[in-house]
Structure formats: C-alpha cells, structure tokens
C-alpha cells in the first residue's frame, strides 16, 4: 500500500470540536491558532499520557512512567478518514511533507500494550531505575537518552484495557525536542512556561491546510493574505467536508 506523503498536525480541541455548532468566536479562535502557528511555529508539549508495564524486578504489579520531553505530534491518517481524528484533537489540520518531519528526527511511535503485564514498558521503566543508580555524569547522560527514547512509546489502548485499541489507528509520528535541533535552528526556545519550545515552520514547509468549514476558510484567507502570498498561493485550502470526498 502506498503511504501518504503528507503528515498532518491537528489542533483546536481546546477551541471546539463540535463542527455542527461552531460559533464565529470559535472560528476566530481557529484563525488565531493558524496565524500563531505559521508565524511562531508548532507548539511542543507533553501529552498527558502515562504508560504502564510489568514490574520486571519483582515479577508482580506494574511500573508506569510519563513523558518528560516536549514534542509535536503528526498523523498520517488520510484526509478521507480524518473526521474522527479531528473530532478528538481539533478541527484545524496543518500538513507538512514526510521529509520535513524526518529532517527533524521525527519518526512513527511504537504502540505498546498498557497493562501491568506489559514487558516493553516494564523493561523501559526498569532501565530508568537502573540508570538512575549510575554515577552522576554517566547517569545524567543515560537518563536523558532514555527519556528521549521513551517519548516514542505510546499506549495502543486506554490504561489496563487490552481490547479498546483507542489509539493504534492514529498512525502517529512525533518530533521531539533536542538541543541539537535547537542549534540547527529548527526548534526555538520561547522563554515561556508553556510552550517552552516551538517547532519552526516556513511558508514553503506547509503543503495543505484543512479548516473546520467554509466560513473559517474565508476568514483565514482575509486575515492571512500576506502569508499566503509568501507561500506562493499554492497551498491547498480545504474544509473537513471536502476532505471526506477524497
């Protein structure tokens, strides 16, 4: 099967995900969000997820860990199948190509079971425990590397549920904050508490924008005329309803 070349960042769940009852205030919020991203970059944050795995030292019970590195998430779910994803994460989709993500060391996540009997997460939690017992200099380097690797683990189901598979069809990719990418000028520090980092994006990096509806698209075209000219007026501007036709 041919994989899509576009990876999409969906945003706006804090604004509204009710497509049938959007207000003009919601639409303005979405245009504000788009303007913020194209001018300052994607937010990098830590998903409020935790992963549970087997306690590999005792053989009973479980260990869990939370993400400790900031990231920006994308999906390769096709536009025609994106309605459910948009309902979960927001009705504004901003697409880049796969090379953009790869060049920033992004990669697909590794989906794992989320259970007290899960071995990958349990082994990872044990590696964190063992690394934390090393001498200071080695410990700090090892812990930083492990925390980076841990960001690419994602639960395939809700906690302790083996059969809902709530997340495995999200086909998620992640770009994770590293100091190397900051030095390369692809990620910037903000000096703010939230977000502390942004993943920078140039007009030429944007390949497609999906709006909640036609009214929001018209508002955005009026507001972002200068940006669209800079992008060469070649970025397709679609609505969620139009995406369903692909």
Query: For 119-138, how does the pLDDT look when each residue is reduced to its tens digit (9 = 90+)?
Result: 898 889 889 889 989 998 89
At 164, which helix (H) or strand (E)? none
In this predicted structure, what is the pLDDT of residue 97?
Answer: 95
- Residue 54 falls inside a structural domain: yes
Tell me the pLDDT tens digit for each residue of 61-92: 677 788 889 999 999 999 988 998 999 999 99
CA distance 105 to 99: 10
Residue 112 structural domain: 6-243
| Number of domains comprising the chain | 1
- Residue 199 falls inside a structural domain: yes
Report, as ranges of residue numbers, the positions in the chain whose pLDDT lies below 70: 1, 58-61, 160-162, 231-233
- Residue 1 falls inside a structural domain: no
- Residue 217 falls inside a structural domain: yes
Phi, psi of 208 (to 5 degrees): -175, 145
What's the whole-model pTM score?
A: 0.91
- Residue 62 falls inside a structural domain: yes
């Amino acid at each position: 099967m041919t994989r899509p070349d576009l990876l999409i960042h969906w945003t706006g769940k804090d604004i509204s995900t009710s497509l049938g009852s959007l207000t003009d205030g919601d639409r303005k919020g979405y245009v504000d969000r788009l303007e913020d991203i194209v001018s300052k970059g994607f937010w990098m944050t830590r998903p409020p997820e935790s992963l549970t795995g087997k306690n590999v030292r005792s053989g009973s019970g479980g260990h869990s860990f939370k993400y400790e590195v900031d990231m920006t998430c994308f999906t390769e779910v096709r536009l025609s199948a994106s309605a459910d994803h948009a309902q979960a994460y927001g009705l504004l989709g901003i697409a880049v190509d796969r090379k953009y993500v790869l060049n920033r060391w992004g990669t697909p996540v590794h989906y794992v079971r989320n259970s007290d009997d899960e071995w990958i997460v349990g082994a990872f939690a044990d590696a964190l425990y063992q690394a934390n017992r090393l001498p200071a200099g080695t410990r700090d380097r090892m812990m930083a590397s492990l925390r980076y690797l841990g960001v690419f683990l994602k639960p395939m189901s809700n906690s302790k549920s083996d059969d809902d598979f709530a997340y495995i069809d999200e086909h998620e990719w992640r770009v994770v904050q590293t100091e190397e990418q900051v030095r390369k000028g692809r990620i910037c520090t903000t000096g703010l508490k939230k977000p502390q980092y942004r993943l920078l994006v140039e007009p030429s990096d944007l390949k497609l924008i999906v709006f909640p509806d036609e009214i929001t698209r018209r508002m955005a075209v009026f507001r972002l005329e200068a940006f669209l000219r800079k992008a060469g007026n070649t970025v397709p501007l679609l609505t969620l309803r139009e995406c369903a036709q692909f």
